[in-house]
């Protein structure tokens, strides 16, 4: 098997542009790697080799004609099954949608294509993308390539598992409560949740989303290097008129002081010692690279933001969600909805208005904080990656899972960007940190992420355990 699949996305893009490697060679190597390891992890649930090779041949032909191609020319990437790709079912891990064939691409798939990426395959997600674990009745269970006893994360668990195992050089994920950042954390790679409005979104195959999800769900990149994440963001963020929330903000903002805050236990989070150690080490890496890092006792309100996010995400249209989950009869989806039913059902016009009123207040506090500390370093999760299926082990386990994820859930309510940087291993479990910056300042997250990455990351790609 060719070792091309081991290259980072940025390395491969450079070699394709200079004709050192052809796009077809890259595609063939990716297909061979997929065939070799996907059966053991079930990260990619649909792919068509002949279409993959045809995409590569079109790229090679364009290069031979001297055409200027995008930043991901010839790079095999995966996309998640909850976004439209023409000719494929937008299943979102749901048997009810197995015949929902998209007639057109979502903006993020179109943008990847415009950047020259080769769409390698479609990655798994939990049913309805509700969980921190990736299994469903339609496509089955995705396993973590570093340790199959651990969750690969959710809901972009297939995306992160694929990148970690060398299936594609970059992955598309979506994040409404941590679904990019947590899988990256669990699989030992990097993942960026962009600012609301940065990456255009739209699925023509599905009804328009309720306002809560519209304001909190985003697409973003998962990669093995920070530079790959940077390239993925640049490709995905191209304009598309179909998304009224898209904002033409520059990818590179004005210079900011290299000043960061470290918070180990925001809002009283019960952070595990292994996670605290990773945060302290990451702060030291920043200092060694010229950053000033101040340890602080707390951040602006995070738990309140997380609680309100759950209400907006699941409460806005809860009855329809519950009816669909009952029809699907997926244990994970039913458990997720049951765990938050009382809170979600409390949403009425008054509480809906209150949520958005508090959003303005909280976001103002956060933006003032980020003016003093352009980057915030805090846990991705209070715990190391969970044992797979932990949320199905009873009420206490379910509550433990959601409590640990508070720092991920709160950011979407505020519309802020967050970056998971994988920093090392604690036994067989990956560990990492989360970086937060102001709106449309993903560049600051990536700048700090590069400083942390230079101190070492888990080896990747890996052969599945």
Q: How many CB atoms lie within 10 A of CB 78?
A: 31
Distances (CA, A) of 255 to 252, 361, 426, 441: 9, 27, 35, 11
Continuous H helices in 42-118: 49-64, 107-114
The catalytic residues are 80, 155, 179
Q: Quote the tokens at residue 418.
A: 């967050």
In angstroms, the CA 145 to CA 328 distance is: 28
Residue tagged 């649930």 (tokens) = 45
Q: How many residues does the chain have?
A: 465
Q: Using an 8 Å Cβ cutoff, are 328 and 98 in contact?
A: no
Stretch (H or E) spanning 433: strand 429-436
Q: Quote the tokens at residue 450.
A: 């590069």
In angstroms, the CA 119 to CA 54 distance is: 11
In angstroms, the CA 297 to CA 227 distance is: 31
In angstroms, the CA 104 to CA 87 distance is: 8
In angstroms, the CA 212 to CA 201 distance is: 14
Q: Using an 8 Å Cβ cutoff, are 229 and 192 in contact?
A: yes
Tell me 96's DSSP state: G
In angstroms, the CA 53 to CA 3 distance is: 17
Radius of gyration of the chain (CA): 20
- Dihedral (CA of 407, 331, 143, 113) sign: negative
In angstroms, the CA 278 to CA 26 distance is: 35
Asked if the bond preceding 155 is cis, omega within 30° of 0, the reply is: yes
* Phi and psi torsions of 25, nearest 5°: -60, -40
**DSSP character string of 236-261:** HTS--TT-TT-----SS------EEE
387, 391, 393, 396 alpha-carbon torsion, rounded to 10°: 110
120, 153, 149, 116: which is closest to 134 by C-alpha?
153
């Amino acid at each position: 098997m060719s070792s091309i699949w081991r290259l980072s996305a940025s390395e491969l893009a450079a070699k394709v542009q200079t004709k050192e490697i052809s796009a077809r060679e890259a595609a063939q190597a990716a297909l061979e790697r997929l065939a070799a390891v996907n059966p053991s992890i079930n990260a990619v649930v649909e792919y068509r080799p002949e279409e993959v090779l045809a995409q590569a041949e079109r790229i090679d032909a364009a290069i031979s004609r001297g055409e200027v191609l995008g930043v991901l020319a010839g790079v095999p990437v995966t996309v998640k099954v909850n976004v439209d790709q023409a000719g494929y079912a937008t299943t979102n891990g749901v048997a009810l949608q197995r015949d929902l064939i998209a007639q057109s691409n979502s903006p993020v798939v179109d943008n990847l294509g415009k950047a020259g990426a080769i769409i390698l395959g479609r990655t798994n997600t939990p049913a309805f993308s509700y969980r921190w674990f990736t299994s469903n009745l339609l496509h089955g269970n995705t396993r973590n390539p570093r340790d199959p006893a651990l969750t690969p994360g959710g809901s972009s668990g297939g995306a992160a598992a694929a990148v970690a195992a060398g299936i594609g050089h970059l992955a598309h994920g979506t994040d409404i409560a941590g679904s990019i950042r947590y899988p990256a954390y669990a699989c030992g790679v990097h993942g960026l949740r962009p600012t609301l409005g940065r990456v255009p979104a739209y699925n023509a195959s599905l009804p328009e989303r309720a306002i809560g999800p519209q304001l909190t769900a985003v697409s973003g990149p998962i990669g093995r290097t920070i530079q790959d994440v940077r390239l993925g963001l640049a490709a995905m963020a191209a304009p598309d008129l179909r998304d009224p929330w898209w904002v033409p903000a520059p990818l590179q903002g004005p210079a900011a002081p290299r000043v960061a805050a470290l918070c180990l236990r925001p809002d009283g989070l019960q952070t595990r010692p292994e996670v605290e150690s990773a945060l302290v080490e990451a702060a030291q890496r920043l200092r060694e690279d010229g950053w000033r890092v101040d340890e602080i006792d707390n951040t602006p309100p995070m738990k309140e933001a997380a609680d309100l996010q759950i209400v907006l995400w699941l409460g806005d249209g809860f009855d329809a969600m519950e009816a669909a989950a009952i029809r699907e009869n997926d244990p994970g989806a039913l458990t997720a909805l049951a765990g938050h039913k009382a809170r979600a059902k409390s949403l009425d016009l008054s509480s809906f208005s209150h949520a958005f009123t508090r959003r303005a207040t909280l976001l103002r506090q956060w933006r003032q904080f980020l003016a003093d500390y352009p980057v915030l370093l805090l846990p991705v999760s209070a715990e190391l990656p969970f044992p797979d299926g932990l949320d199905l082990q009873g009420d206490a386990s379910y509550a433990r899972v959601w409590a640990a994820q508070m720092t991920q859930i709160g950011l979407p309510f505020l519309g802020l960007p967050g970056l998971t940087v994988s920093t090392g291993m604690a036994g067989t479990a990956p560990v990492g940190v989360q970086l937060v910056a102001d709106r449309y300042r993903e560049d600051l997250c990536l700048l700090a992420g590069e400083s942390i990455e230079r101190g070492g990351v888990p080896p990747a790609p890996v052969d599945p355990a």
